[in-house]
Amino acid sequence: MTITLVLQPEIERGLLALAQARGVSLSDYVQEIVTREAHVSPESLPRHTGQELIDACAKVRGLLTDEEVDTLFSRSPSFARPVDFE
3-state secondary structure of 66: helix
Flag whether 72 is in a domain: no
- Position 13 in a domain: yes
Domain that holds residue 35: 9-44
Whether residue 24 lies inside any domain: the answer is yes
For residue 69, the model assigns a pLDDT of: 74
pLDDT at residue 45 in the model: 67
Residue type, 74: S
- Does 26 or 79 have the greater pLDDT score? 26
- Count of residues making up the chain: 86
For residue 32, being part of any structural domain is answered with yes
User: What digits encode the pLDDT tens for the residues 18-38?
Assistant: 999 999 999 999 998 988 888
51: in domain? no
Measured between alpha carbons, how far is 35 from 41 in angstroms, rounded to an integer? Answer: 7
pLDDT at 16 exceeding the cut of 90: yes
In a domain, 65, yes or no: no
Looking at the structure of the chain, the number of domains it has is 1
